Structure 1
Amino acid sequence: MTDTGGPWFDDDAGPLVPAYAVTRGRTAGSAHELDMITLVVAAPRGPGHALIDAEYRVILQYCVVTKSVAEISAYIRRPLSVTKILLGDLIASGHIIYRSPSPMNTDSLDLNLLRTVLDGLRAL
């Protein structure tokens, strides 16, 4: 391998801090049930941002408008499991509010809607 004198990394490499360092070695999040489509938004009157780590501040700045956990994970370029741990910390501290998707009520499904969806899939 030859040394070209340029930087040994590039922006496509992703974050240089390992995931276990960001989560302080934790592999499981808090008791909050978060999945990929859980919606998250910064609390309008949450605690101050001055005393929190940079990773948390980035999430809070991004979540001024409601985002899904998957969107946040992609934005901060961290695995979903790490993102869930960080979001769990922010929920516990009162910085963000979350809402899990409501379960679908199968009793009220419209049969015509299902047929339309099925026809659309077949047309693909």
Structure 2
Amino acid sequence: MTGPQDELWLDDDAGRLVRPYTVSNGRTQPTAKLDLLSMVMATGRVPRAHLEPDHARALGLCAGPTTVAEIAAHLKLPAVITKVLLSDLVDCGAVSTRAPGSAADSTDRSVLEALLDGLQRRL
């Protein structure tokens, strides 16, 4: 999903040439409460403002219900930066979120192992 403009910011050996905090404009606190296991899905609403490339990529990954952790893995960004990007998309109405169910305890080892297994199969 990289376009010609993305080639300037990616290096095959080094990876992303832009520091993660620049992707979020230096912000480290998302405006929406998101957990790694929160489900995110596109609403179909088109944001009024022009989307930055990372916002557009994140929105593209939200076509179906997807966890924040999966989106972070696909974007190859830290979870906190991904949460900031997704909260921007929530704020403009482009995505909706659903908190993980009570059965999804983020400190439960079996839940974490299942999440890791799912991510490894997708990547």
TM-score using structure 1 length: 0.68
- Could you list the structure 1 runs, at least 4 aligned residues long, displaced by more than 6 angstroms after superposition: none
Deviates more, 1:17-26 or 1:71-80: 17-26
Q: Which has the larger radius of gyration?
A: 1
Unpaired segments ≥5 residues, structure 1: 1-8, 105-124
Cα distance in 2, alignment partners of residues 16 and 74 from structure 1: 17
Equivalence for 1:18: 19
Tell me how far apart the structure 1 counterparts of residues 102 and 92 of structure 2 sit (CA, whole Å): 27
Unpaired runs of 5+ residues, structure 2, are 1-9, 104-123
Corresponding residue number in structure 2 for 1:98? 97
CA RMSD of aligned residues (A): 1.8
Q: Residue type of the partner of 1:99?
A: R
Partner of 1:28: 29
Shift of 1:12: 5.1
% same residue: 36
Deviation at 1:20, TM superposition (A): 1.3
- How much has 1:47 moved relative to structure 2? 2.0
TM-score normalised by length of structure 2: 0.69
80-89 vs 11-20, which moves further? 11-20
- Amino acid corresponding to residue 33 of structure 1 in structure 2: K
Q: How many equivalent pairs are there?
A: 94
SS in 2 for 1:86: helix
